[in-house]
Amino acid sequence: MSNQENVNPQMIVLGRESRGLTQKDMSELLPITQGTLSKIESGLLQVSDQDIKIISKVLGYPEHFFRQTDPIYGPGTSELYHRKRQDIPIKILKKIHATMHLRHMQVGRLLKSLDIGSIDIRKIDIDEPGAPSPVEVARMIRATLHVPSGPILNVVSLIENAGGIIIPCDIETNKIDALSRWIPGFPPIFFINLNMPMDRIRFTLCHELGHIVMHQIPNSEMEKQADEFAAEFLMPANEIRNSLDNLTLEKLSALKQHWKVSMASIIYRAKSLNKITENQARYLYAQMARLGYKTKEPAWLEPPKETPKLFYDLAEIHMQELGYTEEELSELLLVNQSEFRDAFKNHGRRLKIVR
Ligand SMILES: [Zn+2]
């Protein structure tokens, strides 16, 4: 990569924020003042080759990272919602969003040579007069994706088979479980924290799918609507209703195993379908709390693990079929090799052929 190419100041901002640094933090690591850094980031000052070498070292990105001019894609609606949350430190929020922007850019680079096939997820307008409710939308999407009646066996592969890309992310706050975006010309992308119980991962992905399908423009009801979508998508009212009579903890654990959702969400479902009263729900929650299930539902009831594959395949196919070395792929993805290995290689158990 030639040093003659100009530095893109936006990439300095993106690189800095993705490392969770403020301008002040970063200037303390550099032989320049915050004022100078601020002018560099706003494009008022040119960066010397010497400066970009140091910035590259401090932020741990290769030098050509700062010279690239791919578009930085704007936020999705679920990010816009989280942006308004006052209780998440701004530094953490900026780090999460910068990482999403970067991942998006990287996926864009990988998709230049790959075709992941048709996107079967569709948008449905819920704002027009007479538009379907979130529950109806969930039914329509189940039908569109040919989901058979009964529980969804694997939410991750359902979304991936429909053309969605699920990207595992370390999200350093438990106030955000996932984010999603669907930008024209791209597949829908789901960023998810996988360090959660499987039932919560499944519900969260369906909640984000609800956003992807219904929310082109954020609205004040969107979180409630996405939850309604997820509940109907995972536990269709017509199918689960009759099994919600006389709920006990024992019954809840059997239902959890069948529907692969949390016991807490089944209680919530029973209440919203008017199968139990507010008091009965409170009593069941209290029983769960007494057994410690409120913080962690029993591990033996946990649904089987679902692991994203498509995202890792994007890099894997570049290596296996397009002949990229790890070094070349890291360069394409604007990261150092160790970061490439951490983020783009699946560290799960791999099956090997017995020879
Ligand atoms: Zn949401």
The 10s digit of each residue's pLDDT in 271-312 is: 999 999 999 999 999 999 999 998 899 999 999 999 999 999
Query: Which tokens belong to 272?
Result: 């919203």
CATH of the domain at 27: 1.10.260.40
Residue 202 lies in a domain: no
Q: What does pLDDT average to over the chain?
A: 92
Residue 260 burial by CB count (10 A; 0-12/13-18/19+): exposed, middle or buried? buried
| Mean pLDDT (whole number) for 144-172 | 95
Determine the Cα–Cα distance for residues 108 and 71; give it in Å rounded to an integer: 10
Query: Which tokens belong to 339?
Result: 């970061």
Residue type (1 letter), 42: S
**Residue-level pLDDT at 348:** 61
Residue 216 lies in a domain: no
**Residue-level pLDDT at 354:** 66
Residues 6 or more apart in contact with residue 289 via CB below 8 angstroms: none
Report which of 91, 89, 16 is spatially closest to residue 52, judged by C-alpha positions: 16
Q: How many CA atoms lie within 13 A of 316 on its CB side?
A: 9
Lowest mean pLDDT among 120-124, 206-210, 343-347: 343-347
Residue type (1 letter), 328: E
CA 180 to ligand 1 center in whole angstroms: 9
CA 223 to ligand 1 center in whole angstroms: 5
Q: DSSP letter string over 173-187?
A: -TT--EEEE--TTS-
Residue 57 lies in a domain: yes
CA 224 to ligand 1 center in whole angstroms: 8
| Mean pLDDT (whole number) for 121-128 | 93
**Residue-level pLDDT at 124:** 96
Residue 16 lies in a domain: yes
Residue 306 lies in a domain: no
CA 57 to ligand 1 center in whole angstroms: 36
pLDDT at 149 over 60: yes
Q: Domain containing 54: what range? A: 1-69
CA 238 to ligand 1 center in whole angstroms: 25
Give the burial string for 321-342 (b: 16+ CB within 10 Å, else e): eeebeeeebbbbbbbbeeebee
Lowest mean pLDDT among 56-65, 226-235, 340-349: 340-349
pLDDT band at 91; cut points 50, 70, 90: confident
pTM recorded for the entire structure? 0.92
CA 348 to ligand 1 center in whole angstroms: 28
Query: Which tokens belong to 113?
Result: 């040579």
Determine the Cα–Cα distance for residues 304 and 149; give it in Å rounded to an integer: 19
What is the number of domains present in the chain?
Answer: 1
What residue spans of 84-215 are helical by DSSP H? 90-111, 134-144, 155-161, 198-214
* Residue 126: Cβ within 10 Å count: 21
CA 338 to ligand 1 center in whole angstroms: 32
Determine the Cα–Cα distance for residues 177 and 284; give it in Å rounded to an integer: 25
Q: What angle separates helix 337-344 from helix 310-320, to the nearest 10 degrees?
A: 130
| Mean pLDDT (whole number) for 251-279 | 97
Residues 6 or more apart in contact with residue 271 via CB below 8 angstroms: 277, 278, 280, 281
> H/E element holding 167?
strand 165-168
212, 188 Cβ separation under 8 angstroms = yes
pLDDT at 29 over 60: yes
CA 207 to ligand 1 center in whole angstroms: 6
CA 273 to ligand 1 center in whole angstroms: 22
**Residue-level pLDDT at 86:** 65
**Residue-level pLDDT at 85:** 63
| Mean pLDDT (whole number) for 304-332 | 96
**Residue-level pLDDT at 350:** 53
**Residue-level pLDDT at 1:** 43
Pairing assessment for the beta strands 165-168 and 189-192 based on DSSP bridges = parallel
Residue 14 lies in a domain: yes
**Residue-level pLDDT at 254:** 97
pLDDT band at 3; cut points 50, 70, 90: very low
CA 259 to ligand 1 center in whole angstroms: 22
| Mean pLDDT (whole number) for 22-49 | 94
Determine the Cα–Cα distance for residues 200 and 269; give it in Å rounded to an integer: 15
Residue 41 lies in a domain: yes
CA 29 to ligand 1 center in whole angstroms: 36
Residue type (1 letter), 25: D
How far are the Cα atoms of 29, 38, 229 from residue 214, in angstroms, in the given order?
Answer: 44, 38, 9
Query: Which tokens belong to 330?
Result: 């890291």
**Residue-level pLDDT at 217:** 83
Three-class SS state of 8: coil
Residue 336 lies in a domain: no
CA 229 to ligand 1 center in whole angstroms: 11
pLDDT digits (tens, 9 = 90+) for 201-217: 999 999 999 999 999 88
